[in-house]
Amino acid sequence: FDIVGDGSELERCRQLGKELPNVTFYGRRDVNEMPEFYARADAMLVTLKNDPAISYTLPGKVQSYMAAGRAVIGAVNGASAEEVQAADCGSCVKAEDAAALAEAIRQLVDHNGEFVRLGENARRYYHNTFTRDIFFERLMRILEDAVQNGGSVPIDATKK
Protein backbone atom coordinates (compact mmCIF):
# COMPACT_ATOMS: atom_id res chain seq x y z
CA PHE A 1 0.00 0.00 0.00
CA ASP A 2 1.31 3.40 -0.99
CA ILE A 3 -0.36 6.11 1.08
CA VAL A 4 -0.18 9.61 -0.38
CA GLY A 5 -1.64 12.59 1.45
CA ASP A 6 -1.74 14.28 4.82
CA GLY A 7 -5.20 13.82 6.25
CA SER A 8 -6.15 14.47 9.83
CA GLU A 9 -5.43 10.87 10.84
CA LEU A 10 -2.00 10.64 9.17
CA GLU A 11 0.02 10.28 12.36
CA ARG A 12 -2.30 7.60 13.71
CA CYS A 13 -2.12 5.76 10.37
CA ARG A 14 1.69 5.97 10.39
CA GLN A 15 1.74 4.34 13.83
CA LEU A 16 -0.54 1.54 12.65
CA GLY A 17 1.50 1.19 9.45
CA LYS A 18 4.66 0.46 11.42
CA GLU A 19 3.13 -2.92 12.24
CA LEU A 20 2.68 -3.80 8.56
CA PRO A 21 5.49 -4.72 6.16
CA ASN A 22 3.77 -3.54 2.98
CA VAL A 23 2.74 0.06 3.76
CA THR A 24 4.70 3.13 2.64
CA PHE A 25 3.70 6.69 3.51
CA TYR A 26 4.70 9.46 1.09
CA GLY A 27 2.97 12.39 2.77
CA ARG A 28 1.55 15.28 0.81
CA ARG A 29 2.79 15.45 -2.78
CA ASP A 30 2.49 18.00 -5.53
CA VAL A 31 -0.38 17.35 -7.92
CA ASN A 32 2.17 17.01 -10.75
CA GLU A 33 3.58 13.91 -9.04
CA MET A 34 0.23 12.13 -8.81
CA PRO A 35 0.25 10.51 -12.28
CA GLU A 36 3.35 8.57 -11.23
CA PHE A 37 1.55 7.20 -8.17
CA TYR A 38 -1.62 6.50 -10.18
CA ALA A 39 0.36 4.56 -12.78
CA ARG A 40 1.77 2.22 -10.11
CA ALA A 41 -1.59 1.53 -8.50
CA ASP A 42 -3.93 -1.37 -9.14
CA ALA A 43 -6.69 0.38 -7.23
CA MET A 44 -7.29 3.69 -5.49
CA LEU A 45 -8.83 4.24 -2.08
CA VAL A 46 -11.29 6.93 -1.07
CA THR A 47 -12.64 7.32 2.46
CA LEU A 48 -15.03 9.89 3.84
CA LYS A 49 -16.61 10.54 7.21
CA ASN A 50 -20.01 9.07 7.98
CA ASP A 51 -21.81 12.40 7.69
CA PRO A 52 -25.10 13.01 5.84
CA ALA A 53 -23.90 16.32 4.37
CA ILE A 54 -20.64 14.78 3.10
CA SER A 55 -22.56 11.91 1.50
CA TYR A 56 -23.98 14.40 -1.03
CA THR A 57 -20.51 15.25 -2.30
CA LEU A 58 -18.42 13.59 -4.96
CA PRO A 59 -14.78 14.35 -4.20
CA GLY A 60 -12.69 15.31 -7.20
CA LYS A 61 -10.34 12.44 -6.40
CA VAL A 62 -13.03 9.93 -7.37
CA GLN A 63 -13.24 11.48 -10.82
CA SER A 64 -9.43 11.62 -11.01
CA TYR A 65 -9.18 7.93 -10.17
CA MET A 66 -11.72 7.09 -12.83
CA ALA A 67 -9.97 9.28 -15.42
CA ALA A 68 -6.72 7.47 -14.62
CA GLY A 69 -8.44 4.16 -15.35
CA ARG A 70 -8.06 2.69 -11.89
CA ALA A 71 -10.37 0.56 -9.81
CA VAL A 72 -11.88 2.41 -6.86
CA ILE A 73 -12.29 1.03 -3.36
CA GLY A 74 -14.26 3.23 -1.02
CA ALA A 75 -15.51 3.57 2.51
CA VAL A 76 -18.09 6.15 1.50
CA ASN A 77 -21.81 6.81 1.52
CA GLY A 78 -24.11 8.50 -0.93
CA ALA A 79 -22.96 10.10 -4.17
CA SER A 80 -19.47 8.59 -4.21
CA ALA A 81 -20.72 5.05 -3.66
CA GLU A 82 -23.48 5.56 -6.24
CA GLU A 83 -21.00 6.70 -8.90
CA VAL A 84 -18.61 3.81 -8.25
CA GLN A 85 -21.51 1.39 -8.47
CA ALA A 86 -22.90 3.01 -11.63
CA ALA A 87 -19.46 2.82 -13.23
CA ASP A 88 -18.94 -0.80 -12.12
CA CYS A 89 -15.37 0.21 -11.34
CA GLY A 90 -14.82 -1.05 -7.83
CA SER A 91 -16.35 -1.68 -4.46
CA CYS A 92 -17.69 0.58 -1.72
CA VAL A 93 -18.68 -0.11 1.85
CA LYS A 94 -20.29 2.17 4.41
CA ALA A 95 -18.18 5.11 5.55
CA GLU A 96 -16.04 4.44 8.63
CA ASP A 97 -16.60 0.65 8.48
CA ALA A 98 -12.98 -0.52 8.72
CA ALA A 99 -13.77 -4.24 8.88
CA ALA A 100 -15.94 -4.09 5.75
CA LEU A 101 -13.28 -2.03 3.96
CA ALA A 102 -10.60 -4.59 4.79
CA GLU A 103 -12.85 -7.35 3.45
CA ALA A 104 -13.57 -5.39 0.25
CA ILE A 105 -9.84 -4.98 -0.31
CA ARG A 106 -9.24 -8.70 0.31
CA GLN A 107 -11.97 -9.65 -2.16
CA LEU A 108 -10.58 -7.38 -4.84
CA VAL A 109 -7.05 -8.72 -4.34
CA ASP A 110 -8.39 -12.29 -4.51
CA HIS A 111 -9.86 -11.43 -7.94
CA ASN A 112 -6.64 -9.93 -9.32
CA GLY A 113 -7.82 -9.97 -12.94
CA GLU A 114 -10.62 -7.61 -12.03
CA PHE A 115 -8.25 -4.65 -11.69
CA VAL A 116 -7.94 -4.28 -15.46
CA ARG A 117 -11.67 -4.67 -16.16
CA LEU A 118 -12.65 -2.30 -13.35
CA GLY A 119 -10.09 0.26 -14.48
CA GLU A 120 -11.39 0.11 -18.04
CA ASN A 121 -14.93 0.58 -16.74
CA ALA A 122 -13.76 3.56 -14.67
CA ARG A 123 -12.13 5.30 -17.62
CA ARG A 124 -15.11 4.64 -19.90
CA TYR A 125 -17.55 5.97 -17.29
CA TYR A 126 -15.43 9.07 -16.73
CA HIS A 127 -15.40 9.87 -20.46
CA ASN A 128 -19.14 9.28 -20.72
CA THR A 129 -20.05 11.19 -17.56
CA PHE A 130 -17.53 13.76 -16.36
CA THR A 131 -15.75 15.30 -19.32
CA ARG A 132 -15.89 19.04 -19.91
CA ASP A 133 -18.22 18.72 -22.91
CA ILE A 134 -20.67 16.59 -20.96
CA PHE A 135 -20.54 19.00 -18.01
CA PHE A 136 -21.40 21.98 -20.20
CA GLU A 137 -24.10 20.02 -22.01
CA ARG A 138 -25.77 19.27 -18.64
CA LEU A 139 -25.31 22.83 -17.46
CA MET A 140 -26.96 24.19 -20.60
CA ARG A 141 -29.87 21.77 -20.16
CA ILE A 142 -30.31 22.91 -16.53
CA LEU A 143 -30.20 26.60 -17.52
CA GLU A 144 -32.62 26.09 -20.42
CA ASP A 145 -35.00 24.26 -18.08
CA ALA A 146 -34.70 27.09 -15.56
CA VAL A 147 -35.56 29.68 -18.22
CA GLN A 148 -38.55 27.64 -19.41
CA ASN A 149 -39.75 27.24 -15.80
CA GLY A 150 -39.59 30.93 -14.94
CA GLY A 151 -36.25 30.75 -13.15
CA SER A 152 -36.80 27.62 -11.08
CA VAL A 153 -34.95 24.38 -11.70
CA PRO A 154 -36.96 21.17 -11.42
CA ILE A 155 -35.20 18.61 -9.24
CA ASP A 156 -34.89 16.10 -12.08
CA ALA A 157 -33.13 18.63 -14.31
CA THR A 158 -29.86 17.77 -12.57
CA LYS A 159 -30.14 14.08 -13.39
CA LYS A 160 -27.70 12.59 -15.83
What does the pLDDT read at residue 153? 61
pLDDT average, residue stretch 140-147? 86
What are the pLDDT digits (tens) for 2-21?
999 988 889 999 999 999 88
What are the pLDDT digits (tens) for 22-48?
999 999 999 999 999 999 999 999 999
CA–CA distance, 43 with 22 (Å, rounded to integer):
15
What pTM was computed for the model?
0.83
- Give the lowest-confidence range in 74-83, 96-105, 112-121, 140-149: 140-149
pLDDT above 90 for 151: no
CA–CA distance, 56 with 120 (Å, rounded to integer):
26
Extended beta strands in the chain, E state: 2-4, 24-27, 43-47, 71-75, 90-93
- Give the angle subtended at the CA of 33 by the CAs of 32 and 39, to the nearest 5°: 115
Q: How many Cβ atoms sit within 10 Å of the Cβ of residue 58? A: 18
CA–CA distance, 56 with 77 (Å, rounded to integer):
8
What are the pLDDT digits (tens) for 116-127?
999 999 999 999
Give me the chain's average pLDDT, please.
91
Residue type, 134: I
pLDDT above 90 for 138: no
